[in-house]
Amino acid sequence: MESRFECIREHQGSVQAFVDGTFDEARVRNAITEIQRDKATETPLAGMLLGVKDVINVDGLPTCCGSAFPSTMFEGREASCVTRLRRAGATVAGKTVTAEFAVSDPGPTRNPRNLAHTPGGSSSGSAAAVAAGFCQIAIGTQTSGSVIRPAGYCGVVGYKPSFGRIDTDGVFPFSRSMDHVGLFTPDLETLERILPILVNRWNPPLDAIEKSYCIGIPQGSYMDLATPIILASFSDAVEALALASYPLKRQLLVDDIAVYNDAIDRVTYAELYRVHAPWYDKYYDLYGSLMRDGLEQGEAITSRELQRLLEHARHTQLWISSLMRDHEIDMWLAPVAPTAAPRGLESTGDHRMNAIWSYTGLPVVTIPISVDELNLPHGVQIVGRYGQDERLLQAAFHIRDVIGVKSLQNQWELSQSL
């Protein structure tokens, strides 16, 4: 714990994972002491520090949604996902930086693996806080790719549940039809400790599955999004699984991935506008430029068109479940993003390889598989069948042991070693 406090004191100024003023060492120490004194309560996460994305309510800390709006606009009861983790002994270290309203206008957070690069977003601070060693657990949200992509960019484990398996109460909404609460941890072992506490109806399988499942390797326009460097790294991972005798099946995912990426964008922006419509005109000048663009796109989508888009989403969710069942694919393996984390903080990166998994509500775990010459991680998404999060986690351990890396250096650690 002392080493984490020291790490935060030394590197928060450069990483900027926490919202200013929300990490208070004295408060955190007092909270930990109280937990240690309470001998009557089971605290399986005692001693673990928790970062919470700044669109999620936490008792005693303001929610500002990464915006210039007054925090009083977002007051409400603590999110149940936070309460569950606190009752299990985790201590909230601070609120983590988010892109404005969990959309696209970036905050100041930098990637701990290379400070010149984005950590991704919109759950920027949550991914960076875990990657920097500030905390062992961080909560984020994903509407298109806002957990899985920053986890991949920062080289940590990310988890997006099947839609609805983690409650979203106490979370300021982006798109109610697509919003997921997700997690960041340094490794799968930590994730395994947390999921029974946080995921509704968690029921791990009793049977070992190791190599009895079939891994789908997407083909077609989806994979065409990735750059040659990412494809080469991914191909090495696939080859390692093949050499380890894992059953693989190359399968066309969709004819045109752009159709699905456009569809989720239209749904999410339409619902975003409906959330913000009551105060959009009054507070127009407080919004960032990308947020304004999204709101304007959403305003142009009629209620009738939104209903049609939502029907298409439900049809797609049923279709992809049928595709996996008919072709006996238990899970997909895919790159996290078309590139490694881009240089600069002007954007949070490219969500086009993540969005279809949010659109279809499937569970995803991402793990790092390699690091490039700039110390930027490459990762893979492991995507399970809907509702089978438990089996997905079990499979992620086996896949990690074949193709994953268990630890990465922070940029300052790399500099010291050089």
371: nearest Cα among 186, 227, 155: 155
3-state SS assignment for residue 186: coil
CA distances 193 to 118, 147, 199, 290, 397, Å, are 29, 19, 11, 37, 13
The answer to whether the CB of 179 falls within 8 A of the CB of 281 is no
Strand partners, 56: 171
Instruction: State how far Cα 324 lies from the chain centre.
Output: 23
Task: Measure the CA–CA gap between 365 and 393, rounded to whole angstroms.
Answer: 7
Tokens of 137: 């657990």
Task: Measure the CA–CA gap between 66 and 122, rounded to whole angstroms.
Answer: 10
Task: Measure the CA–CA gap between 166 and 176, rounded to whole angstroms.
Answer: 13
Task: Measure the CA–CA gap between 173 and 74, rounded to whole angstroms.
Answer: 11
142: nearest Cα among 28, 323, 264: 264
12: nearest Cα among 109, 123, 156: 109
The answer to whether the CB of 346 falls within 8 A of the CB of 106 is yes
Q: Identify the burial level of 185 via C-beta atoms within 10 angstroms of its C-beta, where 0-12 means exposed, 13-18 middle and 19 or more buried.
A: buried
Which residues does 232 contact at the CB level (< 8 Å), separation at least 6? none
- Please give the positions annotated as active site: 53, 122, 146
Tokens of 14: 């450069």
